[in-house]
Chain A
Amino acid sequence: MSEPILQVSDLKTSFSVKRSGRKYSLKAVDGVSLSLSAGEVLGIVGESGCGKTTVGRSIVRLVQPDGGAIRFKGADVLAASGSALRDMRLNLRMVFQDPYASLNPRRSIGDSVAEAGDINKVFKNRADRATRIAETLTAVGLEPSFAARYPHELSGGQRQRAGIARAILPAPAVIIADEPVSALDVSVQAQVLNLMMDLRERLGLSMLFISHDIGVIGQISDRVAVMYMGRVVELSDARGIVDRSAHPYTRALMAAVPKPDPSQRIAGAIETGEPPSQLNRPVGCAYAARCPLVSDRCRVEVPELRPIAPDNRLAACHNL
């Protein structure tokens, strides 16, 4: 495999929260290591509060990590500042979940799409700027005339196309897409996923694709990292996660996804517990309380990611 374009090592990000007068540290991301190769799509999947969004936001430094290292093409992202950080951010771009909240309602689509280019002075002149905006809108399947429109005039699917256009002008090396299709209806979701797969091929993008939806993740990703309570619990190629998941949490997650197959109907009550409080993390493995394989060791020692037979995928479990 080629040299990773983005390398995240032992990333830790926490937030301080106040509850009934006491300050707590909420460890949103607690020692995550990932690498993204050029041209690869790495999916991060997990349920709400697992830290997947914080990983994405830490990489572009929208939130400041407490520890660990992030390297983009070998350069230290966390140490960058000023123009070096701006250059880096031009190559590490984000697509957000809710395009209505992430597009400025008072700016035209064209201005929003060109914003990164304007700030970094990449356009030769006004005509060049207009041409590049038109090309980019066409590339995401919008008419060039959309440049003059405003977000409220667009449908949800069109807005998300505009959100993607904004992330590819000028073309970045890496896109970090945080739940980019979760707010869309299923028929529109398929259109936007197809667009992202096309762009990846055409522009040779690498992508960190963050979603709670294992179906979407399995569709678009080459490799998938499964997160639970701030840590990666399993990392494998997409097929390995979807068809042959190893970690007991991944298996529970896969089993809970409603399959469009009436022969696998729910017959009665299912009680599989809920995740523990973020502010009061258990000692040892965070999944222990819900895990069918739990042993005494799980309640004492945090399992590290390690290769598991037969395919040497990575999983963090003492009992595999």
Chain B
Amino acid sequence: MLSVRDLTVSIGSDAAPVDIVSGVSFDIGKGEILGLVGESGCGKSMTSLAVMGLLPQPGPRIRDGRIDLVGADVTTLQPWQRVEAGHGCIAMIFQEPMTSLNPVRRIGDQIAEAVRVHDGISGAPAWARAQELLELVRIPDAALQLSAYPHQLSGGQRQRIMIAIALACRPQVLIADEPTTALDVTIQIQILGLLRDLCNRLDMSILFITHDMGVIAQLADRVAVMYGGRIVETADVGALFREPRHHYTRGLMDCMPARNLGARRLPTISGQAPRPGAIRTGCVFAPRCAAVQDLCLVNTPPRLVLGKGHEALCAFPLQAGRAL
């Protein structure tokens, strides 16, 4: 459905570019949920904006790589060009629905607007389609709620509205950038359940971006772990949690409080994430890695294939979850 090859996004001048996303590759199959996980500043949001064609301008730009959406190269196309060329089957939802919704327009109008753009219908048929979309995202009393304004809804309902707008284009790929981070856990699980349900029913693919390993475990089919602008490990979700091979992945899992209940100290990853462009030679994770070797500081780490669909960007990967 979606294939990204060697995507590199840079800021700064062409003469001295600073890569904030470098050499990112992944594929998402039909009906599959790919979880892209990483900490703030790792480049996960920039990756998703590049895929959507929504990189802020002027600013970061795609310096290298290729993005294929349902078999068509869309790397250099603006969003409106994609829609005109018939490649508009991708949609995105964001962390804070209140900033994405127009506060002075009824939600019915906002959904109908997206319907008009993609289906070319307006008036009553568009309004009817809007109600259908609200029912699809399980908003109770959909017909009534079409006339509501965003401030009259709770955070969880607003995120459902955003999903309804995203579904207006009948997307084959949905990008969800931390869609539940601002929500309480009892609301979050309902939104996650809704996304899984839509994925199953509409056979839609989802690129799900989050910092939360717990959310990844419960929702994703495959996982890409991102650090310092690179994907450092990719695997099926079961394999990743059973047997993480990259030291960063292992570190992230270890320092989750839920895994260490009652322990007097939590394991940590020392130091903090590097600024983009701060590390130009060797492995980006080397300064924080507990198993760092001299070679890691000099040589670019290889992308090792460690099992079916399991890759790690590390010269000395963990063996069965432990360092070699």
**Which residues from chain A sit less than 8 Å from chain B, CB to CB?**
47-48, 155, 157, 185-191, 193-194, 197, 212-216, 218-219, 238-239, 242, 252-253, 255-272, 274
Interface size on B, residues (CB 8 A): 53
When C-beta atoms are compared, the residue in chain B nearest to A239 turns out to be: B262
Query: Smallest distance from the beta carbon of A260 to chain B beta carbons, Å?
Result: 5
Q: How far is the CB of A195 from chain B (nearest CB, A)?
A: 10
4 new A-B pairs (CB below 8 Å) besides A185-B211, A262-B240, A269-B196?
A186-B39, A258-B214, A268-B197, A272-B186
> What residues of A have a CB within 8 angstroms of the CB of B186 in the complex?
47, 252-253, 256, 272
Given the interface contacts A197-B264, A213-B257, does A187 sit within 8 Å of B138 by beta carbon?
no
Tell me whether B241 and A262 are in contact (CB under 8 A). yes
Contacting chain A: which of B65-73, B127-135, B248-256? B248-256
- List 5 A-B pairs, minimum CB-CB distance, nearest first: A258-B214, A270-B193, A190-B255, A215-B258, A47-B184
Interface-centre pick from A214, A267, A268 (highest chain B CB count, 10 A): A268
Q: A185 and B241 in contact (CB under 8 A), knowing A271-B190, A274-B156? A: no
Q: Let me know if B190 and A270 touch, CB within 8 A.
A: yes
A189 to B39, CA, bound (A): 11
Q: Is B268 an interface residue (CB 8 A)?
A: yes
* Closest beta carbon of chain B to A187's beta carbon, Å: 4
Inter-chain contact A265/B219, CB cutoff 8 Å: yes
The answer on a CB contact under 8 Å between B219 and A215 is: no
Check if B262 sits within 8 Å of A260, measured CB to CB.
Answer: no
Within residues 65 to 90 of chain B, which ones have a CB less than 8 A from any CB in chain A? none
The answer for the CA separation of A212 and B317 in the assembled complex, in Å, is 35
Q: Counting CB contacts under 8 A, is B319 at the interface? A: no
Contact with A along B20-63 (1 / 0, CB 8 A): 00000000000000000001100000000000000000000000
- Known A48-B184, A270-B193: A186·B217 in contact at CB below 8 Å: no
B261 proximal to A (CB < 8 A): yes
| A–B pairs, 25, beta carbons within 8 Å | A47-B184, A48-B184, A187-B39, A187-B255, A197-B264, A212-B185, A215-B258, A253-B186, A256-B188, A257-B185, A257-B214, A258-B185, A258-B217, A262-B238, A266-B189, A268-B193, A268-B197, A269-B138, A269-B193, A269-B194, A270-B192, A270-B193, A271-B190, A274-B154, A274-B157
Do the beta carbons of B218 and A258 come within 8 Å of each other?
Answer: yes
Inter-subunit contact B266/A193 (CB<8 Å) = yes
Any A CB within 8 A of the CB of B1:
no
Beta-carbon nearest neighbor of B153 in chain A? A274
If the complex has contacts A187-B252, A215-B256, A258-B212, are A197 and B265 also in contact, measured as CB distance less than 8 A? Answer: yes
Tell me which residues across on chain B come within 8 A of A270, comparing CB atoms.
189-190, 192-193
B258 is contacted by which of A48, A157, A194, A257 (Cβ under 8 Å)?
A257
> Quick one: closest B residue to A181, CB to CB?
B257
Q: Is B215 an interface residue (CB 8 A)?
A: yes
**Residues of B that sit less than 8 Å from A by CB:** 39-40, 138, 154, 156-157, 184-190, 192-194, 196-197, 200, 211-219, 237-238, 240-241, 251-253, 255-270, 272-273
| Chain B residues within 8 Å of A194, by CB | 265-266, 268
B217 touches A242 (CB 8 A): no
Cβ contact within 8 Å between A259 and B214: yes
* Contact indicator A271/B138 (Cβ below 8 Å): yes
From B189, B256, B257, name the one whose CB has the most chain A CB atoms within 10 angstroms.
B257
B185, B237, B253, B257: the one contacting A218 at CB < 8 Å is: B257
B276 CB to nearest chain A CB (Å) = 14
Whether A190 and B266, one on each chain, are in contact in the complex, defined by CB atoms closer than 8 angstroms, is: yes
Q: Which of A186, A213, A218, A266 contacts B211 (CB 8 A)?
A: A186
In the complex formed, the residue of B with least CB distance to A270 is B193
Residue of A nearest to B191 (CB): A270
Report the bound CA distance from A197 to B265 in whole Å.
Answer: 8
> Are A260 and B258 in contact, CB atoms less than 8 angstroms apart?
yes
> Are B193's CB and A258's CB within 8 A?
no
For the complex formed, measure the closest distance between the CB of A293 and the CB atoms of chain B, giving whole angstroms. Answer: 16
Q: Bound state CA distance, A214 and B213, in angstroms? A: 15
Q: Which chain B residues lie closer than 8 Å to A187 at the CB level?
A: 39, 251-252, 255, 268-269, 272-273
